[in-house]
Amino acid sequence: MCGAPAFPDREGVIEVKQLTKRYGRARAVDDLSFTVQPGHVTGFLGPNGAGKSTTMRLILGLDTPTSGEALVNGRRYATLGRPLHEVGALLDANALHPTRSAYNHLLWMARSNGIDPVRVAEVLEQVGLAGVARKKAGGFSLGMKQRLGIAAALLGDPGVLLFDEPVNGLDPDGVRWIRDLMRSLAAEGRTVLLSSHLMSEMALTADRIVIVGRGRLIVETSVKDLTERYDSLESAYLALTAGSVEYGAAR
């Protein structure tokens, strides 16, 4: 990393502040505020269309907020010089060029952020794709693509990690592997924001929970708190989101 962090007390913190994003008249994210701290896995939950992916795109500076802001390490993502060293993200495992090899896919990413190519081999090993590194990514199963996306997120050894539904398409071994990986990344003191639909899996992986519905915050708390108030995370989720399971963003 380049020099001392600008905001030592906000190192590793994701701050979402009154964030609103409209597409036309639809509000995908609506005055949303929450904070994600390092050292935990924070589960990001909500029904389909609740605005989870949009929030992640806003954090990564890919979409421009209608109002409000999102900060990582106390700064707007767009102001980061070589962002892979600070933030790693998996948004869509299918975002690959079908005829490019897994190795070259990671290598161009490494090049663009001045990362030692040695890291490419390391992360491929770490996600279990070393054996197919020279194969075209287009031929991978969804589970293998998810692993490649995770490898990409880990490439710069970042302190902050965002994963949008990384468990989709993984076999039981893979699901277990992700759970252990997320927990170990958090145990190393990193910030992990993880969205998923699999409630039982989230109960085993996450320490903290942010639930959104129709773009708004429903609850921001610990898994322990929810499982104490309801008999399981799943019933907590179903009770809390009961009013907001409606497809299409709030108008």
Ligand X SMILES: Nc1ncnc2c1ncn2[C@@H]1O[C@H](COP(=O)(O)OP(=O)(O)O)[C@@H](O)[C@H]1O
Given the rule CB under 6 A, which of 46-54, 92-100, 146-154, 186-194 is the region that contacts ligand X?
46-54
Residue 65 touching ligand X (CB under 6 A): no
Residue 228 touching other proteins (CB under 8 A): no
CB of 61 to Mg ion, least distance (A): 18
Residue 187 touching other proteins (CB under 8 A): no
Count interface residues toward other proteins (CB under 8 A).
34
CB of 129 to other proteins, least distance (A): 16
**245: partner contacted, choices other proteins, ligand X, Mg ion, none (Cβ within 5-8 A by kind):** none
Residue 89 touching ligand X (CB under 6 A): no
Residue 64 touching ligand X (CB under 6 A): no
**101: partner contacted, choices Mg ion, other proteins, ligand X, none (Cβ within 5-8 A by kind):** other proteins
Residue 78 touching other proteins (CB under 8 A): yes
Nearer to ligand X, 69 or 180 (CB): 69
**From candidates 12, 38, 43, 51, binder to ligand X by CB under 6 A:** 51
**Residues 143-161 as b or e (16 or more Cβ within 10 Å = b):** bbbbbbbbbbbbbbbbbbb
Count interface residues toward ligand X (CB under 6 A).
13
**From candidates 18, 37, 67, 79, binder to other proteins by CB under 8 A:** 79
At residue 23, what is the residue type?
Y
Nearer to Mg ion, 53 or 241 (CB): 53
Residue 53 touching ligand X (CB under 6 A): yes
Q: What are the structure tokens assigned to 182, written together?
A: 């997320």
**From candidates 22, 100, 135, 197, binder to other proteins by CB under 8 A:** 100
